[in-house]
């Protein structure tokens, strides 16, 4: 398998509904990773990029969170509607989507 240009990690951590930190899963991570996967397939991008689900990345209150490497850019409160913007602007255009990024005081 060739090394991907970028690797997208989508937090899908699940916790009980009464957990004080909440979870990305409870905040809607499932549709986010589903759209990433379906768009990668529809656009024939699997050879260039990789998408993986991951556990907690530590910023639960910002969830669902998406982390893109090698740049180390973290996005917050991502919805299924944001996925195409991330693909078009960041993955394909090499320009992180500033309006979706986690604030610097959270992830620096």
Domains of the chain: 6-100 (3.40.30.10)
pTM as predicted:
0.93
> For 46-73, how does the pLDDT look when each residue is reduced to its tens digit (9 = 90+)?
989 999 999 999 898 899 999 999 999 9
| Average pLDDT over every residue of 7-36 | 92
Separation between Cα atoms, residue 4 and residue 18, nearest integer Å: 38
Specify burial of residue 98 (Cβ count, 10 A radius: 0-12, 13-18, 19+): exposed
């Amino acid at each position: 398998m060739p090394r991907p240009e970028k690797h997208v990690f989508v937090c899908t951590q699940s916790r009980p509904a009464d957990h004080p930190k909440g979870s990305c899963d409870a905040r809607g991570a499932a549709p986010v990773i589903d759209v990433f996967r379906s768009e990668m397939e529809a656009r024939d991008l699997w050879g260039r990029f990789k998408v993986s689900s991951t556990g907690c990345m530590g910023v639960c209150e910002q969830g669902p969170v998406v982390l893109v490497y090698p740049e180390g850019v973290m996005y917050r409160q991502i919805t299924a509607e944001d996925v195409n913007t991330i693909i078009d602007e960041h993955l394909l255009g090499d320009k992180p989507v500033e309006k979706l990024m986690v604030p610097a005081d959270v992830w620096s």
